[in-house]
Amino acid sequence: MRQVAATGCFATCRCWADMRSHRTELCFQTHSRREFINITPQVQECLSISGIREGLLLVNSMHITSSVFINDDESGLHRDFERWLERLAPEKPYSQYEHNGAEDNGDAHLKRTIMGREVVVAVTNGHLDFGPWEQIFYGEFDGMRRKRVLVKIVGE
Ligand code: ZN
């Protein structure tokens, strides 16, 4: 790693001589319409395989009815999320959504939007540089079919 002086500010710029990227797709097919899955072990495995020690890791759902988010791995909290999301965007009646007709997943699009598309985690010394209790979750809102999550890691 080579240090380069930045001009006109106090920031420093680093040039990576060995910048690399690593791309993985994780696949999920849940047994129920809605589910939260802790995918931290799979993401950690992607990072280990990449060999990248310093950089940034992006995890995003590739579908518009599922989310990737970071929070606590606590079952009570996950039931709270489910109740909260059902109050905001109830699955039924399907007829309440203009989106529905050919589809019945209007609620899932809204739930995905509020729970987010992606997370970015710093990679430090080959590890996911989490705060206390942070874990990465896949949030499915229209499941029982094959869905994909993209993991992209850049660094050196
Ligand atoms: Zn739809």
Instruction: Read off the pLDDT of residues 59-78 as tens digits, 9 standing for 90 and up.
Output: 999 999 999 999 999 999 99
Q: Near ion ligand 1, which residues have CB within 5 Å?
A: 103, 105
pTM value is: 0.89
For 85-105, the pLDDT digits (tens) are 999 999 999 999 999 999 999
Structural domains in the chain?
19-155 (2.60.120.460)
CA of residue 56 to ligand 1 center, whole Å: 31
CA distance 83 to 94: 18
Q: How far is the CA of 142 from the centre of ligand 1 (A)?
A: 9
Rounded to the nearest whole angstrom, what is the distance from the C-alpha of residue 35 to the centroid of ligand 1? 17
Reported as a pLDDT band with limits 50, 70 and 90, residue 17 is confident
- Assess contact for 126 and 49: CB atoms under 8 A: no
Q: How far is the CA of 90 from the centre of ligand 1 (A)?
A: 14
CA 119 – CA 69 distance, rounded (Å): 6
Q: How far is the CA of 113 from the centre of ligand 1 (A)?
A: 12
